[in-house]
Amino acid sequence: MQLHHMINGIISSRLLYGLIIVCLISSCAQKEIIPKDLLKETLIPIPVSMEAAGLSFEVTDRTVIYTSGDYEFLDHFIREVKLLSGLNIDVAPMSTSRDDGGIYLILKKIDNPNDEAYELEITPKHILIHANTERGLFYGIQSLRQMMPKELESATQISDPILIASGKIIDYPRFGYRGAMLDISRHFFGIPVIKKYIDYLAKYKMNTLHLHLSDDQGWRIEIKSRPKLTEVGSLTAVGGGKGGYLSQNDYKEIVRYAQSKYVTIIPEIDMPGHTNAALVAYPELNCNQKDPYPKPYTGMKVGFSTLCTSNPAVYDFLDDVIRELASMTPGAYIHIGGDESHATKKNDYIAFINKVQAIVSKYGKKTIGWDDISAASLSDDAIAQHWSDKNKAIAAVEQNAKVLMSPATRTYLDMQYDSTTPFGLHWAAYIELDSAYIWDPGKYIDGVHEEDIVGLESPLWSETIDNLDKIEYLAFPRIIGHAEIGWSPQEKRNWTEYKTRLAKHESRLIEMGIDFYRSSLIARDSISSQ
Ligand code: TNX
């Protein structure tokens, strides 16, 4: 009996040692690889190409991100994943052998030379993100982020392993300008809201935020040489709201934050119309005999105010404003508005825009204006933002300027979805999700071709909205459809496919805490929660 036990003991401990050795060699501590289908991911914008390999990479406590750069966005990403998942992933300097499994961020020349392009290759052992630039790596990370469990968006503890489907993504944008506009004049929104909006834009690979900084109802940016603009001009908002403004430090903080997410800020000072708030602050810029001292305006009418285009003091004023604005704006463009100047005579308007364009270029910047500015002599590097009249966009192209597409009937986020939407306007259209999505910027206007177009922008005017929830409700999900129009190839976009993808992606918006519009066009019932 005892001998029998001894032999049994020897055999079992040998077996144990043997097993340990085999484990060390074959690293059997690793769990089996779980299959996952990359093509089931609901990425928005949809990538140029995706090839599934059927397996998966598991992100664990031991996952290391290898990088040769010190990227702010990476710190942010890691902090977020750590915080949200509780996993202790770490960063290490690039390991050249790549024997170690992990996530690699690699700057190198990839097939597509575009500086926003990236490639994402996922195997059970590696996630390789390749890009020509840091910006491309950033977009690779955004795609990876959308392939992680949606629960990570809300820090909900998940017990399932974090699996990334294996395969290869090749991706690059259709247009270089993929933007949004936020009107902080009709109602004021400060740093926290603007930063949140920037976060959202960056997640969907949008790269420009146009801030509408002045209008009849309020002036929202500190100009040190013209202090009354904010002391007086910032106090009002639509409907008697409380007003407010960005100090220069606030603005610089926003610019810097945006840069960390590869978003360029384009500041707009609307002129010569939409200037009542400036005229209240500096009545001498007005030459309306009937109303020499304009009163603060909190209504919603447009087209009644104008700077006095024949008064040289107006150009000194604009020189001050544009100089200060340009000096805190690293982006190439200053937006000069130029829309709906119904109180300005046509010839005065043309001379005015020509002069202001010269001031913008004097301070090293290029001009963007609403497409009304195509009545003036546009320089080749100017951009006309198309919003209403197709002929104005055509007139810009005929002058060799470029066009930014923001047709009000498709991209205006302040338009109601339908007649029951609790806020928003409908002068241009009701814009349901299909109408916002099903159009091709390159074919929208006869005579304005793909190569004439810098991209598209979704403006959100704020006459009827005064908080982040309302911003989110009007912007989402239309804005992510626009993000896809700007990024993805036209032939990849298909409404029927998009609306199923969006139905699944909605659960991610919920986790992100976005108060989006639940369109009846989206069939949610068929979606098993994934
Ligand atoms: C037109 S679009 C405007 C804005 C209003 C908007 C409301 C454009 C260039 N001007 O002043 O806020 O409609 O939808």
Check pocket membership of 270 for ligand 1, CB cut-off 6 A.
no
CATH number at 144 reads: 3.30.379.10
Residues 236, 221 share a domain = yes
Residues 292, 319 share a domain = yes
Q: Counting atoms of ligand 1 from 1, which one is nearest the CA of 302?
A: 11
Residue 517 lies in a domain: no
Residues contacting 248, CB < 8 A, separation 6+: 221, 222, 224, 324, 328
Amino acid letter, 507: S
Q: How far apart are CA 169 and CA 62, in angstroms?
A: 25
Q: Pick the residue whose CA is nearest to atom 7 on ligand 1.
A: 461
CB 336 within 8 A of CB 268: yes
CB 189 within 8 A of CB 182: yes
Check pocket membership of 425 for ligand 1, CB cut-off 6 A.
yes
Q: What is the DSSP letter of 491?
A: G
Domain finish residue from 108, 140, 171:
171
Report the number of distinct structural domains present in the chain: 2
- Return the pLDDT at 31: 65
Residue 52 lies in a domain: yes
Q: How far is CA 14 from CA 19, 23, 218, 334, 384, in A?
A: 8, 14, 83, 77, 79
| Cis bond before residue 272 (omega within 30° of 0) | yes
Check pocket membership of 429 for ligand 1, CB cut-off 6 A.
no
Q: How far apart are CA 274 and CA 270, in angstroms?
A: 6
For 108, the domain range is 38-171
Check pocket membership of 371 for ligand 1, CB cut-off 6 A.
no
Residues 98, 150 share a domain = yes
CB 78 within 8 A of CB 92: no
Q: How far is CA 72 from CA 137, 197, 203, 254, 368, in A?
A: 12, 19, 15, 15, 30
Question: Which one of 153, 340, 463, 484 is the catalytic residue?
Answer: 340
Name the H helices within 338-407.
346-362, 390-398
Residue 51 lies in a domain: yes
Q: Which two tokens stand for residue 360?
A: 């913008």
Distance between terminal CA atoms of the chain?
Answer: 57
Q: Counting atoms of ligand 1 from 1, which one is nearest the CA of 372?
A: 9
Residues 254, 107 share a domain = no
* DSSP bridge partners of 325: none
CB 443 within 8 A of CB 453: no
Check pocket membership of 461 for ligand 1, CB cut-off 6 A.
yes
Q: Which two tokens stand for residue 259?
A: 């840069």
Q: Which two tokens stand for residue 505?
A: 């992606």
Check pocket membership of 104 for ligand 1, CB cut-off 6 A.
no
Nearest CA to 254 among 222, 298, 219, 209? 209
3-state secondary structure 16-74: HHHHHHHHHHHCCCCCCCCCCCHHHCCCCCCCCEEEEEEEEEEECCCCEEEECCCCHHH
Å from CA of 133 to ligand 1 middle = 37
Q: What is the DSSP letter of 354?
A: H
Q: How far is CA 188 from CA 80, 245, 280, 340, in A?
A: 29, 7, 18, 21
Check pocket membership of 340 for ligand 1, CB cut-off 6 A.
yes
Å from CA of 310 to ligand 1 middle = 26
CB 373 within 8 A of CB 382: yes
Q: What is the DSSP letter of 498?
A: H
Nearest CA to 522 among 530, 506, 510? 506
Residues 457, 318 share a domain = yes
Q: Counting atoms of ligand 1 from 1, which one is nearest the CA of 462?
A: 12
Q: How far apart are CA 86 and CA 158, in angstroms?
A: 9
CATH number at 226 reads: 3.20.20.80
Q: Is 340 an active-site residue?
A: yes
Å from CA of 409 to ligand 1 middle = 12
Residues 145, 65 share a domain = yes
Residue 92, SS3 per DSSP: strand
Check pocket membership of 300 for ligand 1, CB cut-off 6 A.
no
Q: Counting atoms of ligand 1 from 1, which one is nearest the CA of 459?
A: 2
Å from CA of 209 to ligand 1 middle = 17
Domain finish residue from 171, 196, 227:
171
Residue 13 lies in a domain: no
Check pocket membership of 370 for ligand 1, CB cut-off 6 A.
yes
Per-residue pLDDT of the chain (530 residues; tens, 9 = 90+): 454 554 455 445 554 454 444 444 444 455 688 999 999 999 999 999 999 999 999 998 889 999 887 788 888 788 777 777 778 888 888 876 677 789 999 999 999 999 999 999 999 999 999 999 999 999 999 999 999 999 888 877 777 889 999 999 999 999 999 999 999 999 999 999 999 999 999 999 999 999 999 999 999 999 999 999 999 999 999 999 889 999 999 999 999 999 999 999 999 999 999 999 999 999 999 998 888 999 999 999 999 999 999 999 999 999 999 999 999 999 999 999 999 999 999 999 999 999 999 999 999 999 999 999 999 999 999 999 999 999 999 999 999 999 999 999 999 999 999 999 999 999 999 999 999 999 999 999 999 999 999 999 999 999 999 999 999 999 999 999 999 999 999 999 999 999 999 999 999 999 999 999 999 999 987 665 44
- Return the pLDDT at 93: 86
Å from CA of 305 to ligand 1 middle = 14
Strand pairing of 264-271 and 208-212? Answer: parallel
Residue 29 lies in a domain: no
Residues 190, 165 share a domain = no
Rg value, the chain, Cα: 27
Residue 205 lies in a domain: yes
Å from CA of 461 to ligand 1 middle = 7
Residues 265, 193 share a domain = yes
Q: How far apart are CA 25 and CA 32, in angstroms?
A: 16
CB 144 within 8 A of CB 127: yes
Q: Pick the residue whose CA is nearest to atom 10 on ligand 1.
A: 339
Q: How far apart are CA 231 and CA 228, in angstroms?
A: 5
Q: Pick the residue whose CA is nearest to atom 4 on ligand 1.
A: 461
* DSSP bridge partners of 415: 425
Residues 212, 320 share a domain = yes
Q: Counting atoms of ligand 1 from 1, which one is nearest the CA of 274?
A: 11
Q: How far apart are CA 352 and CA 359, in angstroms?
A: 11
Residues 315, 217 share a domain = yes
Residue 397 lies in a domain: no
Nearest CA to 517 among 502, 528, 530, 527? 502
Residues 249, 121 share a domain = no
- Return the pLDDT at 17: 53
Residue 350 lies in a domain: no
Check pocket membership of 466 for ligand 1, CB cut-off 6 A.
no
Nearest CA to 180 among 194, 192, 166, 169? 194
Domain finish residue from 139, 171, 203:
171
Residues 102, 66 share a domain = yes
Q: How far apart are CA 110 and CA 132, in angstroms?
A: 6
Å from CA of 356 to ligand 1 middle = 21
Å from CA of 58 to ligand 1 middle = 49
Amino acid letter, 29: A
Check pocket membership of 302 for ligand 1, CB cut-off 6 A.
yes
Q: How far is CA 68 from CA 65, 92, 465, 523, in A?
A: 10, 8, 44, 44
Q: How far apart are CA 421 and CA 237, in angstroms?
A: 22
The helix (run of H) or strand (run of E) holding residue 459 is strand 453-460
